[in-house]
Structure 1
Amino acid sequence: MSRRMSPEARTVSWLVGLVVTMGALAWAAVPFYDWFCRVTGYGGTTQVAAAGSDQVLDRTIRVRFDANVDKGMAWTFRPMQTSMELRIGENGMAFYEAINNSDVPVTGTASYNVAPEVAGYYFSKIECFCFTEQTLQPGERIEMPVSFFVDPALVGDGDASWIRDITLSYTFHPTEPRQAALEAPASDTVN
C-alpha cells in the first residue's frame, strides 16, 4: 500500500525546497561573483600572477596611476608617478605613498580596478600592497610597491587590442580596527 502525499503536502514540500535552493544560491552568490570577476576581468578586476610574463612585445602601452581614500580616512594617499610607459609583457613596478595624518594607528585595505574594464583580464599583478591590510602608526609614511605586467594576449583580443592606455586605480578604506577606535568612548582614568 503506497501512501500518496496530499496536494497541500506536495505544495509545502515544493516551497521548502524552493526556499532552501534560494538560500543556497544567495549564499554562493558572493564567492561565485568574486570568482567570475577574477576569471573574466569583469568590472576592471585585475588578475594575479605568480611570476612575470615570459613574452615581451615591441608594442608599448601607457599605465596611469590613480589614488583615492574613503571619506573620513585620515590618510594622504598618492601615486609616486603619474604614469609609465612599458612594453606589453614587460614587468613594471610602481610605488604609492601613504601617510597617516591622524594621532591614532589606522588600518586600511585597498580596493582596486583598471579602466577600461576590458583591460582587467590582461592586467596581472605579481605583488601588491593591496593583497594585505596596511597599518600605519600616527604620522607614519610608507612607500608601497605594486609589481605588474600587461599580458601579451591583449593584442590578439579584438575587444581589447585597441587599448593604448590603462588606468590603475586604488581606493583605501578603513578596516574594522579603525572603526572600533572611532566608536570607542573616551576613557577617563582616575589615579
Structure 2
Amino acid sequence: MTRNSRNLLVGWSVATIICLMVGMSFAAVPLYRLFCSATGYGGTPSIGLAAAPGGNGATIRVRFNADTNSNLPWKFAPDQTEVDLKLGDEQVAFYHAGNETDHAVTGMALYNVTPEKVGKYFHKTACFCFNQQTLAGGQSMEFPVSFWVDPAIRSDPNTSDVKVITLSYTFFRSLDDAAKAGGLAKAGPHVGPMSAADAKSRAN
C-alpha cells in the first residue's frame, strides 16, 4: 500500500469515527428519554399507547403541580389540584397557560412524578411535554394530559405504601424563542442540547 493510499484510508477512518460520534451525541437525548419512559428512572412516567387495564377498585390520589421558569413570561397552573382515581382506570387532567406579553412566546415543558419510585407505574398516554408550545400575545391555552396508574403498584413492596403521587410540569422558554428575543440566556437554565444528566436534573 502506497503512502497516499494509507493517508486516504486513515482520513476516511477518522471521518467515519467523527460522523458516528456526532450521530451518537444527537441520539443521546431521545435515547435517554426513551430509557426513562420505559423504566421510570428519575421519576419519569412511562409514555405509550398501552390501554388502561382497569383495576379492582383500589384508589390512589394524584396531585398536580406547575412551575414556570422566571424567563418565560407565562402564567401556568393546573385546572385541578388533585384527583382520586381507581388504579388501572384512565384519567384526563388539564393544565392551562397564558402569555402575559403582547407578542408570541414559545415554551417547552418538562415533567416528573414524585415519589420517584412510582415512575414505572405511572403511565401517560398523551401529554404536552417535550414539544414546543407557542402562545400569541395575550393568548391562553388548555393542555390536557391523560394517564393511568398500574394496579401493580400495590403488589410491589417498594411502592405498596404510596397513597399520593404528584405530577409536576415545569415550562421553560424554548431555545429558538430565546435566541430571537436576544440571547440564549433568556431561556434560563434550559439551554443547549440536554445531556442525560441535564435531562434528569431538569425533570427533577
TM-score range, shorter-chain basis?
A: 0.7 to 0.9
TM-superposed CA distance for 1:33, in Å, is 3.6
Determine if the alignment matches structure 1 residue 177 to structure 2 residue 173. Answer: no
Corresponding residue number in structure 2 for 1:132: 131
- Residue ranges of structure 2 left out of the alignment (5+ in a row): 1-16, 184-204
Measure, in 2, the Cα distance between the counterparts of 1:38 and 1:148.
13
Q: Does 1:83 align with 2:90?
A: no
Structure 1 residues 29, 132: closer, same or farther in 2, change over 3 A?
Answer: closer
Per-residue Cα deviation, 1:98-135 (whole angstroms, up to 9, x for no partner): 00001210111110000000111011111112252211
Q: Distance in 2 between matches of 1:95 and 1:88?
A: 19
Letter in 2 for 1:66: N
State whether residues 100 and 106 of structure 1, in contact with CA within 8 Å, keep that contact through their aligned partners in structure 2: yes
Supply the AA of the counterpart residue of 2:146. S
SS of 1:129's equivalent in the other structure is coil
Q: The residue matched to 2:180 in structure 1 has which SS?
A: helix
- Length, aligned pairs only: 168
Contact 2:36 2:46 (C-alpha < 8 Å) held by counterparts: no
Runs of 4+ in 1 over 2 A off after TM superposition: 26-36
Counterpart amino acid of 2:103? Answer: V
Q: Which runs of 5+ in 1 are unaligned?
A: 1-19, 185-191
Give TM-score, length-normalised by structure 1: 0.78
Q: Distance in 2 between matches of 1:77 and 1:165?
A: 22
The aligned counterpart of 1:14 is none
- The residue that corresponds to 1:163 in the other structure is 162
TM-score, scaled relative to structure 2: 0.73
Instruction: State the secondary structure of the residue aligned to 1:103.
Output: coil
Residue identity over aligned pairs, in percent, reads 46
- Please tell me whether the aligned partners of residues 73 and 173 of structure 1 are also in contact (alpha carbons under 8 angstroms): yes
Structure index of larger Rg: 1
Aligned twin of 1:58: 57
In structure 1, distance between residues paired with 2:35 and 2:151: 21
Offset, 1:176: 2.4
Deviation string, structure 1 residues 22-67 (Cα, Å, up to 9, x no partner): x69x847545543432222111001112143122221110000000
